[in-house]
Amino acid sequence: MSTIAIVGAGPQLGFAIGAKFAEKGGFNVALVARREAQLAAMVDRFRGAGVSAAAFAADVTDRPSLEKALAAAEEHFGPIDVLEYSPAPTLSDLADQPLVSAVDLTVESVLPGLRTNFFGAVAAVRQVLPGMIDRAAGTIIGTSGAGSGPMVVPQVANANVANAAMRNWLLALNESLADSGVHVVHVALGARIGSGRPNSEPDVIADLYWKAHVERDAPEVFHYDLPDEFEFQLADKFRAD
């Protein structure tokens, strides 16, 4: 059986991506994230649906821990065929490391996002890429908000700078791996996941990931589903009120 490792796995999109790959391709699902209780609950949901799933706790900012978790996933399931990378900050993270606008951007405000969204992505990819190259097969998918490139969202400049670094590297990596059998994709989401809009539901968005894996015809997927009157606001999971 093939295996997908979802780094930064959460109960909405992360779970939906795992469920989609299990449904469409019979994939095992390896879940990597910080919160062990949430991981355990997700594994229970998967197993209750007959999906082979396991959790491997790690903080993406602790790169040796992340590498160890992915190595453990490969020891448990065998080679990782698809790596999806999409960690997101919690309310506690944002309280300690607030989002800042382009005008207020400082070196210090960018570093936490770089550790999470860029340095962690590099560590995760480096852990699985050599095996994919040896097997001449594999898919790497990195996810960010669309402010990483296709959209300009100056209110969250520090997050977007870090995500833009990941996006740029993934696009270059895809170009570098042409004809290797390894496909690299950046997914840019301009959507409030789970907000009630049909095209922002996790299962609908997860289908884009499956198509990116099987069709392998583009290095970037831009999904835009925001209302015409959209004004920037944090997703519900990041709001304190």
Q: Is the pLDDT of residue 218 over 50?
A: yes
pLDDT of residue 150: 80
pLDDT of residue 239: 33
Task: Give the residue-averaged pLDDT of 132-159.
Answer: 92
Averaged pLDDT score across all residues of the chain: 91
Task: Give the residue-averaged pLDDT of 182-203.
Answer: 91
**In the structure, what pLDDT confidence band is assigned to residue 113 with cuts at 50, 70 and 90?**
very high
Helical axes 202-215 vs 13-25, angle rounded to 10°: 50
3-state helix, strand, coil in the chain (%, to 5): 50, 20, 30
How many whole angstroms from its chain centre is CA 72?
19
Q: Is the pLDDT of residue 107 over 50?
A: yes
- Alpha-carbon span 62 to 7, nearest angstrom: 13
**In the structure, what pLDDT confidence band is assigned to residue 58 with cuts at 50, 70 and 90?**
very high
**CA-to-CA separations, 26 to 15, 48, 143, in angstroms, rounded:** 15, 15, 22
pLDDT of residue 229: 59
- Which pTM was predicted? 0.91
pLDDT of residue 225: 84
Given a contact cutoff of 8 angstroms between Cβ atoms, the answer to whether 138 and 132 are in contact is: yes
Q: Is the pLDDT of residue 237 over 90?
A: no
Strands (E), the chain: 3-7, 28-33, 53-57, 82-85, 138-145, 182-191, 220-225
**In the structure, what pLDDT confidence band is assigned to residue 230 with cuts at 50, 70 and 90?**
low
Helical axes 13-25 vs 36-48, angle rounded to 10°: 30
